[in-house]
């Protein structure tokens, strides 16, 4: 049966909801996206590394395979949404150990993760990975969806319910919106359906400095006395130092974690010391018990919940999109 013209309601306009909305629109459906722009949304805090190798978790083969596949699909996914070339760029990741012990630790981790690191004049290099800028990315995707006729509605969703042939999205202080099918992508901070997937919030914070514009981006993965840290130098001059990982639903950056990130970054790269400080960003990463990408179809098959994007939701956007296509097929 053709689904063309069906009314789809998407809850959440982070990267997951937007990629879901794009997949539904591409299948010819009529799409409405509802979002409350809450401060804890992860997409607006994210660094934008598309990094299946340097983010590998030893022993988690399923997640690793998802991440590698996502990177292989990313370029064609973003082209399909007219996302400009400068928002997808391959960058070699440099590994920077601070001490002999840190170097041994990186070597052990790479061996266990099956990763080859190459010693070169530039330092210890990993495989090529990619970089995007999440805020610009979602701005472009959103504009593209508006051009394609997707409707965006501001509002807090209190509940999603279903009948045999429809889905009803209840909003705080406003009329409900109903559709034929629903897609729920509310990230870590909101349970809106009775049979929601179990998701735990993992807070991440990062620091942004203003550096000079540069010809090439650069990514360094630092291990300093056992503490991991990354530093991204973007072409625009923006420098991103991140990111912490704390199992909590409290979306605040603690002074101590910011202090440690900054001092580790500055001790490793002293030239950062005098750069203007721009901001600290925090967000709650939506994390499933397994750390892997997860989804669930509701009892009557009227809505799909997408969750578990953890530290990799920007990278995983093409897989979210594919899962939505399977659901809507």
Give the interface with ligand FAD as residue ranges (CB under 6 A). Answer: 11-17, 34-38, 41-43, 45-49, 156-157, 185-187, 189-190, 192, 204-206, 242-243, 283, 285-286, 309-315
Q: How far is the CB of 91 from ligand FAD (least distance, A)?
A: 12
Radius of gyration of the chain (CA): 20
Contact in structure between 117 and 223 (CB atoms under 8 Å):
no
Which lies closer to ligand FAD via its Cβ, residue 29 or residue 137?
137
Which lies closer to ligand FAD via its Cβ, residue 107 or residue 174?
174
Q: Measure CA 32 to chain center.
A: 22
Q: Taking phi first (over 0 means left), then psi (-120 to 50 degrees means alpha), and beta for anything else, what does residue 114 get?
A: left
Q: Quick one: tokens of 181?
A: 């099918």
Which lies closer to ligand FAD via its Cβ, residue 17 or residue 97?
17
Contact in structure between 311 and 285 (CB atoms under 8 Å):
yes
Q: How far is the CB of 135 from ligand FAD (least distance, A)?
A: 11
Which lies closer to ligand FAD via its Cβ, residue 101 or residue 326?
326
β-sheet bridge partners, residue 151 = 32
Contact in structure between 232 and 217 (CB atoms under 8 Å):
yes
Q: How far is the CB of 119 from ligand FAD (least distance, A)?
A: 26
Which lies closer to ligand FAD via its Cβ, residue 97 or residue 318?
318
> Measured between alpha carbons, how far is 89 from 128 in angstroms, rounded to an integer?
10
Q: How far is the CB of 297 from ligand FAD (least distance, A)?
A: 17
> Measured between alpha carbons, how far is 202 from 250 in angstroms, rounded to an integer?
9
Within the chain, what is the greatest distance between any pair of CA atoms?
63
Which lies closer to ligand FAD via its Cβ, residue 185 or residue 223?
185
Q: How far is the CB of 311 from ligand FAD (least distance, A)?
A: 5
Q: How far is the CB of 50 from ligand FAD (least distance, A)?
A: 6
Instruction: List C-alpha distances in Å: 185 to 28, 34, 76, 219, 298.
Output: 20, 10, 22, 29, 14
Which lies closer to ligand FAD via its Cβ, residue 40 or residue 268?
40
Q: Quick one: tokens of 283?
A: 């967000």
Task: Give me the helix-helix angle, 61-80 and 15-26, nearest 10°.
Answer: 60
Q: How far is the CB of 285 from ligand FAD (least distance, A)?
A: 5
Q: Identify the CA nearest to 72 among candidates 134, 4, 129, 136.
A: 129
Name the H helices within the chain: 15-26, 61-80, 100-113, 134-147, 255-268, 317-328
Which lies closer to ligand FAD via its Cβ, residue 122 or residue 248?
248
Q: How far is the CB of 127 from ligand FAD (least distance, A)?
A: 16
């Amino acid at each position: 049966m053709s689904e063309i013209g069906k009314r789809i309601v998407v809850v959440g306009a982070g990267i997951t909801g937007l990629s879901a909305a794009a997949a539904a629109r591409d299948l010819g459906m009529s799409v409405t996206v509802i979002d409350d722009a809450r401060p804890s949304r992860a997409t607006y805090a994210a660094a934008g590394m598309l990094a299946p190798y340097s983010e590998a978790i030893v022993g988690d083969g399923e997640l690793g395979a998802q991440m590698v596949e996502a990177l292989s699909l990313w370029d064609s996914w973003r082209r399909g949404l007219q996302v400009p070339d400068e928002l997808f760029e391959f960058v070699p990741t440099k590994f920077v150990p601070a001490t002999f012990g840190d170097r041994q630790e990186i070597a052990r981790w790479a061996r266990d993760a099956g990763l080859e690191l190459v010693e070169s004049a530039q330092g210890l290099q990993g495989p090529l990975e990619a970089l995007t800028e999440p805020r610009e990315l979602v701005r472009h995707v959103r504009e593209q969806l508006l051009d394609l006729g997707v409707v965006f509605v501001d509002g807090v969703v209190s509940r999603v319910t279903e009948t045999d042939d429809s889905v009803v999205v209840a909003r705080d202080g406003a009329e409900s919106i109903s559709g034929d099918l629903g897609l729920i992508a509310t990230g870590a901070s909101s349970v809106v359906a009775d049979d929601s997937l179990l998701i735990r919030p993992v807070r991440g914070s990062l620091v942004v400095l203003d550096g000079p514009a540069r010809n090439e981006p650069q990514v360094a993965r630092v291990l300093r006395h056992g503490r991991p840290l990354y530093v991204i130098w973007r072409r625009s001059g923006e420098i991103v130092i991140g990111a912490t990982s704390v199992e909590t639903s409290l979306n605040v950056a603690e002074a101590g974690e910011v202090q440690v990130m900054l001092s580790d970054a500055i001790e490793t790269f002293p030239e950062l010391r005098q750069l203007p400080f721009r901001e600290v960003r925090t967000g709650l990463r939506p994390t499933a018990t397994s750390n892997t990408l997860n989804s669930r179809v509701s009892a009557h098959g009227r809505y799909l919940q997408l969750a578990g994007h953890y530290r990799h939701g920007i990278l995983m956007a093409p897989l979210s999109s594919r899962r939505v296509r399977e659901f809507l097929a």
